[in-house]
Chains A and B, each alone.
Chain A
Amino acid sequence: MSNAASTTRKPAARAARPKGDPGHSGQRNTALAWLTVPALFFFLAFAVVPLAGVLVLSFASWDGIGAIGSAGLGNWFSVLADPGLYNALGLTFLIMIASWLVQTPISLLLGVFTAGSQRYRAALAVLYFLPLLLSSAAVAIAFKALLDPNFGLATGLGLPFLAQDWLGVPHLALGLVIFVIAWQFVPFHTLIYQGGVRQIPRSLYEAAEIDGAGTIKQFFHITLPQLKYTIITSSTLMVVGSLTYFDLIFVLTGGGPGNSTRILALDMYLRGFRANLMGPASVIAVILVLIGLALALFLQRLGGKDKQGSQLEGM
């Protein structure tokens, strides 16, 4: 903070110069700088310090209760040599990519659909957004009940193929996780696409109609290109967000059966708070941060620099 104070004082010295831009005099800037202090304090204390802390703890040995010792590079060696890490990494990317492939077309089409002016579409949209109100815990619990082979959907709809041991067979559990994630998050992305579609100038469609372009042509030649930034925004949120599907998977499958749905965030939690190995868990956390940063920067590059920030959201 002392450093920060000195940087704010610099423009104050410059303010001694006569007149020039009285609205941004040094005194004002110093006063304004003080306004950021509360936010800065919280952010430094509970986001930046922990971020540094996670790096430090990745070189420590701690069981979560006792004293903290040094582990040198031991945690890193043991985690990097652990096939569990690669399983978790692979699953994280698999769920990320599958989620993107499933959610993007559906949300895009639903976004276009709900942006239409027909009244029935508006009425449907009201219901489409219901999953947004539910917590991940609630969604996971609801689906667990729903998938009961005897008293759930399979019996209700009379569809025997739904009566599977969804949580007991690895590839079924994985598919289920991807489906439930889509169920929970498609509405959010639909909302984003709906907003994007509503910003497309109507005149483009009118011109296309005069040229005789049909609905499908209009979709591919106007809607889709015009949604470029919306697609990047939504994809960034989806991809970076997929690193943190922790709560849903934790309640739904707990990472099982076996380790078949144990994504990185869950792996971190289970190593840290169940196996009491905070050091190795911190290694996973560091990897998680690095992946998040790399993905955000990559996707931001795709979108160009002009929309910086608005596409990034890490929670």
Chain B
Amino acid sequence: MSTVLKSSTEEVPAGPRADAAAPKRGLGSRMRKLNVPAGVGGWIWLAIIIIPVYYVVITSLKTQEGYFGQNPLALPTSPTLENYQMVLEADFAQYFMNSTIVTLGAVIPTVLISFMAAFAIVRGKGRFLKLVNGMFLMGLAIPLQATIIPIYLMIIRLNLYDSLLALMLPSIAFAIPLTVLILSNFIRDVPNELFESMRLDGCSEWQTMWRLALPLTRPAIVTVAIYNGLHVWNGFLLPLVLTQSPGLRVLPLALWTFQGEYSVNIPAVLASVVLSTLPILVLYVVGRRQLLSGLTAGFSK
């Protein structure tokens, strides 16, 4: 965690003269004067966010004795990685693999087929395409968690119960409406002349899609891939209902069962929390801007 703090402050050096030097971008001139209540509020909120995170990280580095003996917010006197070792020995590498497989197996098809659909919706005309688009828009308004019982039934009937594929299929379906919406908004921004020139060159729509629309919408594709990826990675209900073997657990489910089994060993439980978040944290450190824009997906467009 300390490396995160360091790298992020390096990236945005918070010098004492920052206030006076900053007004290049955005609301600069307005905010140049010190806004004391805002500053105080900002630091209070920081405390609310950071204290739990800090507690989780330092506790995960404590021994059981340290946990029971020390002040809960004190740094561990003898930091240890044995909790992490214990978590890894509890098959977390396997769960990590499962989560990765499910996330990739859901996100790649989602983005691919949604991109094709979005391209068709933007480029084509006719009642059928309007109908398809309308249906996807409706899908945005429905809390899809509510369909879990029929999904459970279908997955059993398809003989897919307790498999990773069972987690991918509904995840793909749930993600399609928003992905299509966002991608079609971006494809709509591609200048029509470009499409025209492709057509005059004798390209089919299929070729236009891959050679023109795909490269031009790549940023949007990365954005929705991240958004969907986070949702699938952190998803809990589908794995809870559709799998049961320990070997098929994904990380959030593994966390839950782990804390049930090791409820007396809080440092180990919190180590599992840290470990399951680590990959996304790495992503946050290396590509913060991309990740954050992925999180709001199309909402601020």
Contacts and interface: CB of A to CB of B under 8 A. Distances in A.
Contacts of B292: 129, 132, 191
Contacts of B113: 38-39, 42
Contacts of A157: 51, 73
Interface string B228-268: 00110111110011000000000111011001000000100
Given A32-B120, A45-B173, A314-B142, A145 B56 contact: yes
Contacts of B270: 141-142, 145
Interface in B102-148: 109, 112-114, 116-117, 119-121, 123-129, 131-132, 135-137, 139-148
A118 B22 contact: yes
A22 B26 CA distance: 45
Contact of B8 (A11, A115, A127, A312): A127
The DSSP consensus for interface residues of chain A is: helix
A74 B154 CA distance: 23
A197 B27 contact: yes
A115 B38 CA distance: 12
Contacts, number: 388
Contact of A310 (B73, B126, B132, B299): B299
Q: What is the size category of the interface that chain B forms with chain A? A: 35 or more
A31 B154 contact: no
B18 interface: yes
A142 B14 contact: no
Contacts of B14: 119-120, 123
A27 B134 CA distance: 22
Contact of A202 (B27, B137, B176): B27
B172 interface: yes
A29 B234 contact: no
A40 B154 contact: no
Contacts of A156: 55, 71-74
Contacts of B23: 117
10 residue pairs, one from A and one from B, having the closest CB atoms: A53-B150, A195-B300, A46-B173, A119-B18, A156-B73, A32-B124, A135-B234, A296-B141, A50-B147, A156-B72
10 contacts: A8-B126, A23-B195, A31-B206, A48-B135, A133-B281, A145-B55, A146-B55, A188-B296, A206-B29, A314-B142
